Amino acid sequence: MAALTKKQQQVVHFIEQFQSRHGVAPSFKDIAKQFKFRSLTTVADHIRLIRQKGSVASLPGLARSLRVVSPLQPLRRQVADIPIYGDIPAGLAEDRIQEAKGCVSIDIETLGLKPTPRTFALEVRGDSMVGKAILNGDLVVLEHGMTPRSGDVVAALIDNESTLKTYLLNRGKPFLRAENPKYPDLLPANELVIQGVMVALIRKRK
């Protein structure tokens, strides 16, 4: 941000303090009265210059929408909260019911992920996906409604039992493969429902 003049600093401080006390930004009249400016045009000129320097922002056409922009704002990363719907076996498939366990906050830029209302997370239980570096206790972030491609990691219901596995095709027919030789391939006897395709992995700190 460009440096503010002393008067501009005073105006920014007044806006911040006024909003803290009253819950809304000051009007141009409030600013003019505080600094004994002779006209609202003078206030508008000050605000325009301060806005150009990046210290305040406002919504076009909306009264009292001035807000002070923190000098740290460019350093802040965009964070999103993703719901965690229980855990999922990364071993043998299990008949189980998912339960909400809260949410996880993610740094969108670091993960390279843009969550949608269909994004959710599950906690991994088991070791069947270690070949893809998915470990017990990790959180897998999944997107519901995506069409999986061969090789994608998916949360799936196979014959009404849930599991986390790699989605593969054999002569056009889907099946699930563990990334650990201790576990067999899973071929659906009746039904295979993809609950979500993995889009990110979060490793919990020990």
**What positions carry a catalytic annotation?**
128, 165
Helix (H, G, I), strand (E, B) or coil at 143: strand
- Which residue from 155, 77, 166, 161 is spatially nearest to 118, judged by alpha carbons? 155
Q: CA-to-CA distance for 200 and 111, rounded, in angstroms? A: 7
Q: Are 90 and 128 in contact (CB under 8 A)?
A: yes
Closest to 43 in 3D by CA, of 19, 68, 11, 65: 11
